[in-house]
Amino acid sequence: MSSNVQNNSLPETGFIRIWDVLKYIPVGKSTWWAGVAAGRFPRPVKLGERTSAWKVEDIRALIEKAASGEGI
């Protein structure tokens, strides 16, 4: 997870959907949502009634936190 190649393939800014998030954070979908509910993972932004996405900046920060040994 600390691979700079993965982190560098993220766009600089914008939003990514859950399936893209899970490419960078090695957990399952239900584990991801449980982490969001527990406050371990960032909360999504609602883009529509049935559409949620995460800020790329928040996902980058989570990856950096994990890479620094703080864990997620």
- Per-residue pLDDT tens digits for 39-65: 999 999 999 999 999 999 999 999 999
Residue 11 in domain = yes
Confidence band, pLDDT 50/70/90 cuts, at residue 7: low
Range of the domain at 57: 4-67
Please provide the average confidence, as pLDDT, over all residues in the chain: 89
**Which residue blocks in the chain are alpha helix, DSSP H?**
4-8, 18-24, 29-38, 56-67
**How many structural domains are present in the chain?**
1
Residue 20 in domain = yes
Cα 65 from chain centre:
11
Residue 17 in domain = yes
The pTM is what? 0.82
Give the position of tokens 């949620």: 52
Residue 24 in domain = yes
